[in-house]
Amino acid sequence: MMMDVEKFLAAAKKGVVTVVFKKLGGGEIRHMVCTLNPETSGAKVKTLIEQRPDNDHIVVWALDRDAWRSFRVNTVIDWFEGSNGAEKNA
């Protein structure tokens, strides 16, 4: 799957998104509920890290870990708005 990074970043800045990707090393599949929205993060996302559509890594606030996390764009299997999968978007 080729990820539309611009669409993903716009959705993450708007609210909650879930990204499904393969972790490097073991190949484990991870579902990460995340955001780039200051309100959704409880004000923990104060400043956005500059992220361009051509970056090979995306940095997001992981809501389940309450910390910054990143993933490689080329490991993404799927992503969608929300946290329950009802709103498929990629």
| pLDDT exceeds 60 at position 87 | no
pLDDT of residue 90: 42
Is residue 74 classed as helix, strand or coil in its secondary structure?
A: helix
pLDDT in tens, 20-63: 999 988 889 999 999 988 888 776 766 666 777 778 889 999 99
pLDDT of residue 41: 77
Is residue 16 classed as helix, strand or coil in its secondary structure?
A: strand
Strand order from edge to edge, sheet including 57-62: 67-72, 57-62, 29-35, 16-22, 76-81, 87-88
Q: How many Cβ atoms from other residues are within 10 Å of residue 74's Cβ? A: 12
Residue pair 88/37 in contact (Cβ under 8 Å)? The answer is: no
Domains in the chain, CATH or no CATH each: 5-81 (2.30.30)
| pLDDT exceeds 70 at position 7 | yes
